[in-house]
Amino acid sequence: MKKKQRQVRRRIFAFLNREEGGTVAELAIIVPFLAVMLAGVTEFGRLFQSYTTLAKSTRTAARYLSNHPFDDVNKTKAKNLAACGQMSCGANDTALLPGLTPSNICIESTGTAPNPETVTVSIPRAGAGCGSPYTYQPVFDLGLLLHSPTFSLNLPLAPSTTMYFMLDD
């Protein structure tokens, strides 16, 4: 009987000291955290890339308007330049970012109309008088991954660029 008890104890001790499945168990615990971290890093990178693209497009449009006559034709060209990267935005032209249209662009100036002092090209936040806001659309829903319905990266992006008007008549 004691011999059987020793054998059972030995087998239990040997079973408890095995490490064959430990690595798989550790991997199963760590993989969800790594997936959420990868999705978060990817989304924050895309968010900053989208903001930088919008900031550069407003800067390009403001630079264009500061060196050309300030009239409706050039304002339309500047809006197209900010939204599509070209002077004309047709149906087949792709926008710089998904969902960005010339209607998102707001053009304002200070001073009198033929020769204003400054020209401002912006993408406004919600509630602004001109233009419609642009909201970033994430690929991964981090709120769903984190089981938090309130956490979202659907953020409004609102860069603005102001330049002095350079033309004198």
29 Cβ contact partners less than 8 Å away, ≥ 6 residues apart = none
Q: For the residues of 49-100, what is the DSSP string, one character each?
A: HHHHHHHHHHHHHHHHHHTS--SHHHHHHHHHHHHHSSS---SSSPPSSTT-
**Residue 5 in domain:** no
**Residue 2 in domain:** no
Record the pTM. 0.78
Give the span between the Cα atoms of 123 and 135, in whole angstroms: 10
In contact, 130 and 146? CB cutoff 8 Å: no
What tens digit of pLDDT does each residue of 77-96 get? 999 999 999 988 877 778 89
Tally of domains within the chain: 1
Q: Which range marks the domain in which residue 54 is found?
A: 25-164
**Residue 10 in domain:** no
What tens digit of pLDDT does each residue of 96-139 get? 998 899 989 999 999 877 788 999 999 998 776 787 889 998 88
